[in-house]
Amino acid sequence: MSYEIVGITVLWLFLYGYLIVASIDFGAGFYAYFAKVSKQDHITNKLISRYLSPVWEVTNVFLVFFFVGIVGFFPSTAYYFGSALLVPASIAIVLLAIRGSFYAFENYGSKKSNTYMFLYGATGLLIPASLSVALILSEGGFITEEGGVVSLLYKTLFTSPLSWSIVVLAMVAVLYISASFLAYYASRANDQPALQLVRKWALFWSTPTIIMALTTMIALSQHNERHFENMLDLWWIFGLSVGSFLVAAGLLYMGRNYGTAFIAVMLQFFFAFFGYGMAQYPYLLYPYINIEDSVTNPSMAVALIVAFIGGLLLLVPSLILLMRLFLFDADYVKGKK
């Protein structure tokens, strides 16, 4: 395999990792606020805060990892995406900052205030929306380059059905992934009232997720035919995604095997996300950045891959330790530790 394929696969894996862990986190923020407003917070809050406390910082690192990695492997992404995304990415930074720091302030500082809960919930949905702008841009047609100045075409961006489909898809997917994880977590904790509530949420958000996925496909077929055609060629990957969706929804509906159901949800997004990425090949930003042309020099690529393997040898055991101590320690989940 060539360096650029290894590079983009690794990065795509990390982006996928971020998608899952961040969705759980962002969705949980929204649900925490929703439960408070609908006076159900006594059922869910303990569950949500117990999961979130030890992992919020780790979630953030996945994102940093991705954007540092992509600039390293493909330096021209810094030029195009960096120039075009100044405003949306800065907004995302501010939202992430509000969320990350307020989390610590509130948890260790004072009592839960309504304003804070609202910000916490709202940022949970706005961050995915602002981050998905990067994904929208990569489809091409939203930026211009004139005389060495790259600018984002805001009007095209805000009036495009594709951008709205992707933004809404990002938001509903967050809620769906998060609810199905919380259902699994509640079943581990054997917390029946919370389980019934979050199971309802998961089932509720499964439908819009699949509808928005279809809408996005249609919008994409009109906006970037090349990408759409490639996706049709990879139909079997998307078939696996739909199959996983059916398994997950079925198990959630029957109310059993929540662990398997969550794995199915993860697979559903895994296939869809990889299919989407593979179909975009060889572009990172249509038509400006071609993967093969923009990859960094070979010595740096090798160094990055070596660093990556070394890093993983360090990270994977630590992550397993973290999960064993908090996610999969039955006593901790139940609140006994």
Q: Given the rule CB under 8 A, which residues bind another protein?
A: 53-55, 57-58, 60-61, 63-65, 67-69, 71-73, 75-83, 85-87, 89-91, 93-94, 96-98, 100-105, 108-110, 148-151, 296-297, 299-300, 303-304, 307-308, 310-311, 314-315, 318-319, 321-322, 325-326, 337
Cβ–Cβ contacts within 10 Å for residue 103, how many? 19
Beta bridge partners of residue 289, listed in sequence order = 285
Q: CB 286 → another protein: shortest distance, Å? A: 18
Q: CB 44 → another protein: shortest distance, Å? A: 20
Q: CB 3 → another protein: shortest distance, Å? A: 12
Tell me which residue has tokens 């990892």: 65
Q: CB 269 → another protein: shortest distance, Å? A: 22
Q: CB 136 → another protein: shortest distance, Å? A: 17
Question: In terms of CB distance, is 5 or 94 closer to another protein?
Answer: 94
Question: In terms of CB distance, is 38 or 299 closer to another protein?
Answer: 299
Q: Can you tell me whether residue 183 is helix, strand or coil?
A: helix
Residue 161 · residue 224 · CB < 8 Å: no
Q: CB 314 → another protein: shortest distance, Å? A: 6
Cα torsion 11, 171, 177, 10 to 10°: value is 0
Q: CB 96 → another protein: shortest distance, Å? A: 6
Alpha helices, H only, 224-257: 225-233, 235-254
Beta bridge partners of residue 143, listed in sequence order = 152
| Sign, Cα dihedral of 239, 245, 247, 250 | negative
Question: In terms of CB distance, is 76 or 241 closer to another protein?
Answer: 76
Q: How far is CA 101 from the centre of its chain?
A: 20
Question: In terms of CB distance, is 136 or 237 closer to another protein?
Answer: 136
Question: In terms of CB distance, is 63 or 263 closer to another protein?
Answer: 63
Q: CB 307 → another protein: shortest distance, Å? A: 5
Question: In terms of CB distance, is 123 or 241 closer to another protein?
Answer: 123
Question: In terms of CB distance, is 145 or 229 closer to another protein?
Answer: 145
Give, for 290, the enclosing helix (H) or strand (E). Answer: strand 289-290
The interaxial angle of helices 225-233 and 192-223, nearest 10 deg, is: 120
φ and ψ at residue 289, rounded to 5 degrees: -115, 115
Exposure string of 17-38, with b = 16+ CB inside 10 Å and e = fewer, is bbbbbbbbbbbbbbbbbbbbee
Q: Which two tokens stand for residue 107?
A: 């948890």
Question: In terms of CB distance, is 67 or 274 closer to another protein?
Answer: 67
The closest alpha carbon to 263, from 276, 275, 251, belongs to 251
